Amino acid sequence: MHPVLRLVAQRFALGLLLLWAASALIFAGTQILPGDVAQSILGQSATPQSLANLREELGLNDPAMTRYFNWLWGALQGDLGTALTNGKDIADSMGYRLKNTLFLASCAAIVSVPLAIFLGLLAVRYQGRWPDKMISGVTLASISVPEFLIGYILIYFVAVKLGWFTSVAMIDDRMTFLQSLNAIALPVIVLTLVVLAHMMRMTRAAILNVMQSAYIETAELKGLNSFKVIYRHAFPNAIAPIVNVVMLNLAYLVVGVVVVEVVFVYPGMGQYLVDHVAKRDVPVVQACGLVFAAVYIGLNMIADIVSILANPRLRHPK
């Protein structure tokens, strides 16, 4: 077996193992929460008899192990159970939310990743001079301001004063693609500003690190101009650290957008999770946790695999 294939398979297996461990943690975590689901559903109207009935119905009397494996088995088949609060199928209602979140996240990624890498390259090209300092200054300032504040500032100026975009990012299935894009423009801008600095700084640092190498001098002595030196010779050797930070930020775009979704009233996963945490709807919280864990682990696994593939020593052994 080719060593790269073996390494990739290894990463994949480790990812699955990690996901399984995460599922156990999520389940255990929700079990040790104080309070009783049946109690919270019935609230004021609870009688001892109705509580006992509901517990029986929800399977709360089974041992934790049995419930965990039933839940895991269901999740594997795409059955995440039903929400306690409204009795709807979780997979159905979450599917719609997840689609929205992924739509927002991918739009933000499509804008922010190339922009961050381009700005990183630019900062290296003009290292220590004013473009470098300006890029660093602006991106660091934007990451330092809390995202809800940026959100409200944008709403006030861009949506209210200028009227370019809507302040509420409500989207639904009847909207055309362009209408949807218009609706999410502001949250995309906010998310971009939030993740830009981290990716840009890492790109800059990774490439500057490579720029110390002797082969960069070789490239300069070939008479290549600075940009060619950077993107032909430095960038390919800086891919691994860059991909890692990009994936971390993509994961953040999916699992960390709660605040932005709430600010813009966007019907995504974050809002869905927050709503149901407030209502103590344990099955929904578990399901969201599992999906978030899967996204996080999946993206980081991709980063690992890309790093392996980017290494010519592994790709082309002696």
CB-count exposure of residue 169 (10 Å: 0-12, 13-18, 19+): buried
If one asks whether residue 215 binds other proteins (CB under 8 A), the answer comes out as: yes
From 48-56, 144-152, 199-207, 215-223, span contacting other proteins (CB under 8 A): 215-223
* CA distances, 273 to each of 32, 90, 91 (Å): 19, 11, 13
Q: How far is the CB of 234 from other proteins (least distance, A)?
A: 9
Instruction: Name the residue nearer to other proteins (CB basis): 90 or 242.
Output: 242
- Quick check: 128 binds other proteins (CB under 8 A)? no
What is the Cα–Cα distance from 291 to 96, expressed in whole angstroms? 13
Instruction: Work out how close the CB of 56 gets to other proteins at its nearest, in angstroms, rounded to a whole number.
Output: 58
Instruction: Find the binding residues for other proteins in span 105-124 (CB under 8 A).
Output: none
Task: Identify whether the C-beta of residue 206 lies closer than 8 Å to the C-beta of residue 117.
Answer: no
Q: If binding is defined by CB under 8 A, does position 7 make contact with other proteins?
A: no
Least distance in Å: CB of 261 to other proteins? 40
Q: Cβ 243 to other proteins, closest distance in Å?
A: 14
Under the criterion CB under 8 A, does residue 162 sit at the interface with other proteins? no
Judged by beta carbon, residue 50 or residue 209, the one nearer other proteins is 209
DSSP string, the chain: --HHHHHHHHHHHHHHHHHHHHHHHHHHHHHSSSS-HHHHHHGGG--HHHHHHHHHHHTTTS-HHHHHHHHHHHHHTT---B-TTT--BHHHHHHHHHHHHHHHHHHHHHHHHHHHHHHHHHHHHTTTSHHHHHHHHHHHHHHHS-HHHHHHHHIIIIIIIS-SS-SS----TTS-HHHHHHHHHHHHHHHHHHHHHHHHHHHHHHHHHHHTSHHHHHHHHTT--HHHIIIIIIGGGSHHHHHHHHHHHHHHHHHS-HHHHHHTT--SHHHHHHHHHHTT-HHHHHHHHHHHHHHHHHHHHHHHHHHHHH-HHHHS--
C-alpha 121/C-alpha 107 separation (Å) is 22
Pattern 278-317, other proteins, x by CB under 8 A:
--------------------------------x-xx--x-
According to the binding rule CB under 8 A, does residue 217 interact with other proteins? Answer: yes
Query: Which position among 196, 219, 243, 290 is part of the footprint of other proteins (CB under 8 A)?
Result: 219
Determine if 10 is a binding residue for other proteins (CB under 8 A). no
Number of residues that bind other proteins (CB under 8 A): 21
Residue owning tokens 């739509």: 103
Select from 20-28, 106-114, 233-241, 246-254 the region that touches other proteins (CB under 8 A).
233-241
Closest separation in Å from C-beta 11 to other proteins:
21
Q: Which stretch binds other proteins (CB under 8 A): 162-170, 172-180, 232-240, 286-294?
A: 232-240
The nearer residue to other proteins, 45 or 212, going by C-beta atoms, is: 212
Q: Given candidates 201, 233, 276, 280, which one binds other proteins under the rule CB under 8 A?
A: 233
Q: Site residues for other proteins, window 234-253 (CB under 8 A)?
A: 236-237
The residue range among 50-58, 72-80, 91-99, 218-226 that interacts with other proteins, by the rule CB under 8 A, is 218-226
- Using CB under 8 A, list all residues that contact other proteins: 213-215, 217-225, 228, 233, 236-237, 310, 312-313, 316, 318
